[in-house]
Amino acid sequence: MGAWTLEDVSRIGVEGAQPVGGVNVDTDFNVKGTWTELTPALPFEAHGVYLCFSLRNTGVVYTTGRTWLIDLAISDGTTRWIIAADLPLDSMGSALSPAGIWLPITIPAGVRLDARGQNSGSNNLTIDMWLLPMQRGLASSAPYSRCHTFGANTGLSKGTVIDPGLTADTKGAWTVLGSDLTVPLKALSVFIGHNANNVGDETFWNVDVAFAPSTPVDADIVLHDLPSSTKGQDATFAQSPAIPGVHGPFPLTIPADGASDLWARAASSQADGSDRLCDVVLVGFD
């Protein structure tokens, strides 16, 4: 067997991890909790970070559907500069989706990183969080400088609700997630949640994303039929969160023309008034 080296990712670290789980990050009901330190000093310049999440050490069993929005910031202990805002998570019971989020952004060595969050359930809940900083990014791809979040609903701690309509297996109406885009995007992640639905039947979604100045046509679609699903309740198991909770980031270019919007629509396997709904957040990078 020939010799090999880590050419694509030359170094991977870990910050904030515990033997099982990570740092308890405070979240409050539909409002951001207090900031929690994840690492006092990033040991090297990261060209991407993989954020990890768990409900292992919270001390609470969540018996209802819950959604979360998480912020990540560079900190000097007093002031925070948010570098990723309103990253969405979906939970049911002890299950969480996504359990990891890849952010292909550059973060300088030596900085402190803090996190905070909010949830759709109740006050003073925590979520475990830690991160894997990586040098040279993923497969030597050029890292980006900023994250931009579209469609997060901070009043309800989730994404924008997408209604597939009353007919199962048919795409519903388009919904705007980001208006009059003024920042050119070079990559895009799509987060799909179960709209904090507590009970229901097994449901499958296919989600489209488009970029257009008015209601999109097929030629405006930039991402087609991204899947997600949730397992329905039965006598033994609770409903699951939406899995997968995130697709991407996809390397695609979306111009900043100041007049066009980001849109999403979905088809659902259910026509039920609550089971059919999903919520969507987009995170772009430049």
Confidence category of residue 235, pLDDT binned at 50, 70, 90 = very low
Cut 0.85: pTM above it: yes
Is 123 a residue whose pLDDT tops 80? no
Is-contact 12 131, C-beta < 8 A?
no
Is-contact 117 53, C-beta < 8 A?
no
pLDDT at 200: 66
Q: What is the CATH topology of the domain spanning 11-135? A: Jelly Rolls (2.60.120)
* Residue 280, CA distances (Å) to 8, 43, 96, 233 in order: 31, 34, 16, 22
Least confident of 16-25, 140-149, 180-189, 217-226: 140-149
Q: For residue 280, what are the β-bridge partners?
A: 160, 192
Confidence category of residue 9, pLDDT binned at 50, 70, 90 = low
Task: Write the pLDDT tens digit of every residue in 33-76.
Answer: 999 999 999 999 999 999 999 887 655 555 667 899 999 999 99
* Residue 26, CA distances (Å) to 43, 85, 138, 233 in order: 24, 15, 30, 29
Domain 147-285 has CATH 1.10.472: no
pLDDT at 201: 75
**Domain map (residue ranges) of the chain:** 11-135, 147-285
Same fold for the domain at 11-135 and the one at 147-285?
Answer: yes
> What is the rounded CA–CA span in Å between residue 286 and residue 279?
24
Task: Write the pLDDT tens digit of every residue in 216-233.
Answer: 999 999 999 999 998 766
Helix (H, G, I), strand (E, B) or coil at 218: helix
